[in-house]
Chains A and B, each alone.
Chain A
Amino acid sequence: MFSFQPDRSEYPQPGLDGKLEIDLETGKYLKLWHGPNHPGITGNMSVELTVCGDEVVEGKTHVGYLHRGFEKLMERRTFIQVFPIVCRVCVPEPDFNEYCYAAAVEELAGIEVPELATWMRTLILEMGRFNSYMMFLGGIGGALGLGITGQWMTYVRDLMLDRFEELTGARIYHMFILPGGVRGHLPEGFAARMEEVLQTAETYLADVDKVMFANSVFQLRTKGIGVIEPALFEPYGVTGPNARAGGVAKDVRKDSPYLVYDQLDFEVATGMDSDIFTRAKVRRADIQTSIDLIRQILKKMPKDGPVMAKLPNVLHWKIPRGETYIKGECSRGEYGYYLVTDGSGYPRRINVRGPSYTHAMALLEHLIPGTNISDVAALMVSLHTYPPEIER
C-alpha cells in the first residue's frame, strides 16, 4: 500500500574503507542526545546520535548515569550482607541476581538447597520474567507512540507485584532468595490468586496482540528494521530473545537446565527475521511460556517441606577458596554471576554478566548507523535493555 524510499543522493557517502568522514563543520551533520531520560530505555542511558537529515549516521552509547559500584561494594560486605544488594543490580527483574548469587555461594560453600526451595525459586524467576516482559511490551509500545500497551502492561505487572508482595513481603526488591533456600512458603490460597492474575493477563495480552502485533502501523515500523545479522551473535555475545529472533534456539533453561527446569514441559520460542518485530513476537511467545510454566510449577511443586538449609553463622561466614560461574536465562538472555572466594569472610570478586551490557553498549552502536531517527527508540527497546545491570 505504502512505499517510501528516501532520496539519499544528498547524503554523505562512505569512503573507500566503508567509514564515514563526519565533519560537523560542513553543517550537514547534527549531534543529538537521545536520553539519558528517554522512554526508549528502561532506566538511564543515552545515545549520542550524529544525524544527517533524519538518518542516523553514527550512534555512541553513553552509560554511567546509574553507576553505584555494586561489584566493589560487595567486596566490602560479608556474604550475607551482599544478599540485600544484589537485587539492585537489575531493578525490573531483580530475582535473577538473588538466584545467581545464592546459587554461587551455595556451590562454593557446599550447601544443599531443599527441594521445595528450588521449586519456589523457579516460580519466583518465572514471575519475574513475566513482569520484565510486561515492561518490555509497554516500552516497545511507548517507543512507537502506542501508549495504551504501557498502561495495560503496568496494570498487569502491578497485579503480579501484588503476588510478589504476598509471597516475598516486597513488591520490587523481593530479597526472598537467600543463600540456603528461600525465606518462606507459599501463602494460603496463593495458587488461586495467581491463576486469577494469569487469566486477567491473558485477556490483556490478547488485546495487545490486536492493538500492537496485528496493527499495520506497528508492523510497518518494526518489520525489517534493526536487523541483527546472525553472524553478529557470536562476536557480540548476543543471547536470549535477541538471538532466538534470529533463529538460534539458545536458552539456558533448555541448554543447561538449572533449578527444576528439567522437570518442566516447555518449548523455546524462535523467529527467523531478527528484526524489531520478530524480537517482540518472540518475547510475546515467551510470556505465554512463562504463564504456562507458572501454572505447571504451582501444580507440580511439593506441597510441603523445608525451604531453608542449615547455614553456618552468617555473621562470620567464611567460604573456602574457589570460583564459580552461575548462569540462568533471564528475560534478556544469559544472566550470570562469577564469584571468586579466597577463604575469607568476604567475596574476593563478584562479576555480573548482564546481557544488557553486550546488547545495549556494543551491539546498539553497530545497529544504529543507517536507521531513521524515529526508529532509534524502538530499536533500543527491542534489544530489551536495563541500564542498571550495565553499570554494576
Chain B
Amino acid sequence: MSLREVLTPFSVWKRVLDAPVSIADPFSREASEHYRGFHKNDMETCIGCGTCEAICQNGAIDMVPVEGQNTEKGDSGLRPMIDYGRCCWCALCVDICMTGSLTMSNEYTWVDSDPDAFRFIPGLNEPWKDKQAGYKRENGRVLSGTTRSPMGELHANERIDNFNEICVGYTREEAILEADRCVECGLCVATCPAHMSIPDYIAAVRDQDYDRGLQLLYETNPFSEVCGRICTHKCETSCAAVHEGDAIAIRWLKRHIVDNVPLERRVELIGAPKPATGKSVAIIGAGPGGLTAAYDLAREGVKVTVYEALPKPGGMMRYGIPEYRLPYDALDRDIAVIEAMGVTIKCATVVGVDVQMEDLRQSHDAVILAIGLQMGRGTRIPGSEGAGVERAVDLLRRITAGDPTVPVPETAVVIGGGNVAFDIARSMARLQKIKYGRVGLTLTALEDRAHFLADKEELVEGDEEGVLILDSRGPQEVMRDPSGQVTGLRTWAVTSIFDAEGRFAPAYDESDEQIHQGALVIEAIGQMADTSLLGDALTEKLEWNRGRIKIDSEMRTSEPWLFAAGDAVKGPDVINAVADGHRAARTVMEAIAQGEVVQ
C-alpha cells in the first residue's frame, strides 16, 4: 500500500463543485416520445372487439357497456375498461388492437384519493385524452395476420366456354393460414342473419377437426355447402380484421369444412332426428327458406312434406344461381342431408293446381309458405313488350332446366346491376362463347361502379370474361327494326338515382345518349312473388303489407295455421331465407306444442 493509494481517492473532492443531478420536481418531467404511459382510446374507431381483453395476461381489461356507444353492425358497443391495479403497461393490447383505436400517451403520474378511479374507461374524459406523444406500434398490426389467403380460381380463358365452378376451394394449408387470422371477436356472429357460430367453426378448421366444424355448421345452417359458395357474406363486412387489412374469408372457410366431410359422414355426424311426434307440416316451396324450416321441423320429429312446383328442389339456388357459382351437385348434397332427416319433397307439384291450399290446411297441423320471388319485374320502357325482351329469372330458370329454346343471339344487352343481372350476363356470355366463339354482351346499370349492388367479385370476373359493363346508364327504349326485331337498347347517362328525400327517382343527362347493340334485351331489375296459388278466398282473408303477405316478427301471417318465410316476405338472400326458415320452424313448433294452431 503506497501513499499514492491513500491520497488518490481524495482527488474526487472536485465533484463537490458539480451541480446536483437530482430532478427536484418529478411531476413536471416529460416522458419520452414513445413512453408506454396511460391508455387512450378513440371511442369512435373502437369496435369493441375485445382482442385487448383477450391478450391481456394480467386480466386488467374488461369490456363494458358505455353510455353513448350503441351495439350495431360491426360494433359490440362495449369498450375496454382498464384496471391500473393490474396493468403492467406491456402495450400488447395496443399491438393487437384491430382498429388502432387503443393507444398510449406518455403521461405517467396520476394522483387520486379514490382507489376506484384507477379502474377507468379510456376515451371518456381523462386529462391526457388528446395528448399526441406516447407509444405507437411502429410495425403495424403484426400480432395477427392482415392479408387473406387467396382463393384459387379458374382463369377467365378456362371458364368462359363452360359452366365449371370458378372457385377451386382452399387447400388445407391455405385454410389453416386463413383460419389462423381470426381473433374470435364474434362480431360476425351478430351480423350473420342465421347467427352461425363463425369463430368456433373457424377454430375447428385451425384444429383440423372437420367433424366438429360440420356439426357446428349444421346447428345453424343446413345449407352450408351452398352458403359456403354463394352467401352474400355480410359477416365479412363486420369482421374486425377489415379495419386494417382483409376480412377473414369466412365464406371460403365454411366451404372448406363441408368440402372435407363426405355426404354420408355428414348424416352420421348430425345424428338421427327426434322420435316422431305425430304432427305434420306442409311447406310450399323447396328453396332455402322452406327447406331450412323442413330440416328443423324434421329434426324435431315432425312429418314434413315440401311441395315444389319445379321439377327439382332448390328454388332460386338451383334455378337462379348459375352452375359456375354453385354446382348442382353441391346443392344436391345439402338437399340430400335434409331428405335424410325424413323430409318428403314433392317436386313438380303446383299448389293451386295439383293440390289446393285448403287441402293442405286440412291435412296438416300447419302450413309454411316459402315461395320466393319467382317473377321478374319489367322496366316498362318503350319497346320492352314482345319478343326479344326477356326477364332474367325466366331465362336463368330455362338455362338450368336445359331448355333448348333459350335464345342465344350474338349480341345481347342486360339491364340491371345486381347479382341476378351478372348471373344472366355471365351465363349468356358463356352460351355465346360456346355458340359463336366470342362474347357479345353489354350490361348497363343505373349505379356507378363504386355502388353496384352486385358483389365486387362479380364486376371483376365479369370484366375478365369480356362482359362490357357500363355504369350510370339509364334504359330509355328497346330499339326494334321495322320488322319488330330487337336491335338494341337506348340509354341516357344517369346524373342521380335518388331524389332529395331518398326516393327512387333517377335523373338523366339526355345529351349523353348511347345505343347498345343487341338482338336480345334482358331485364334484371328485381323480382316479385307469385301469390296466385293462395286462391281468391285466402288472398282476401290475409292481411297484406305493400303487396307482400304481412307477417309478424315470428313469421306468423294473419291466419293462425299459415306461416311465411323467405324472399316472398322478407328477403333478400339465401342466408336470410335460412334464418327465416329457422324462425318459422321454431314458431310452428311452439304453436303446435301450445295447441295454438286452430284449423
Contact = CB atoms under 8 A, between A and B. Distances in A.
State yes or no: do A and B come from one complex.
Answer: yes
Contacts of A310: 142, 145
Contact of A219 (B1, B57, B135): B1
B142 A180 contact: yes
A220 B6 CA distance: 11
Interface stretch (A47-55, A130-138, A183-191, A351-359): A183-191
A9 interface: no
Interface string A195-239: 000000000000100111011100110000000000000000000
Given A80-B92, A85-B57, A211-B9, A312 B34 contact: no
A200 to B, nearest CB: 10
Specify which of A158, A314, A315 lies most central, judged by the most chain B CB atoms within 10 Å of its CB: A315
A175 B90 contact: yes
Interface in B96-137: 96, 135, 137
Interface in A152-168: 155, 158, 162, 165-168
Contact of A207 (B15, B92, B180): B15
Contacts of B36: 169-170, 175
Interface in A65-97: 77-78, 80-85
B473 interface: no
Contacts of A315: 51, 54-55, 96, 143-144, 183-184
Contacts of B32: 162, 165-166, 169, 187
A212 B10 CA distance: 11
B460 interface: no
A2 B1 CA distance: 9
Given A311-B143, A313-B182, A169 B34 contact: yes
A56 B10 CA distance: 33
B5 A216 contact: yes
B138 A185 contact: yes
B12 A207 contact: yes
B370 interface: no
A187 B34 contact: yes
Q: Looking at chain A, what size class is its interface with the partner chain?
A: 35 or more
B583 interface: no
Q: Looking at chain B, what size class is its interface with the partner chain?
A: 35 or more
29 contacts: A82-B57, A83-B90, A84-B92, A148-B12, A169-B36, A170-B35, A170-B89, A175-B36, A175-B89, A175-B90, A183-B137, A184-B138, A185-B138, A187-B32, A187-B34, A211-B9, A214-B5, A214-B8, A215-B9, A216-B1, A216-B2, A307-B139, A308-B142, A314-B96, A314-B143, A315-B96, A315-B183, A316-B184, A316-B206
Given A84-B58, A216-B5, A219-B5, 15 more contacts: A77-B57, A169-B135, A183-B138, A210-B12, A211-B12, A212-B9, A215-B8, A215-B9, A216-B1, A216-B6, A307-B138, A313-B145, A313-B180, A313-B181, A314-B143
Interface of B: 1-2, 4-6, 8-9, 11-12, 15, 21, 31-36, 51, 54-55, 57-58, 88-92, 95-96, 135, 137-139, 142-145, 180-184, 203, 206
Interface of A: 1-2, 77-78, 80-85, 148, 155, 158, 162, 165-170, 173, 175, 180-181, 183-185, 187, 207, 210-212, 214-216, 219-220, 306-308, 310-316
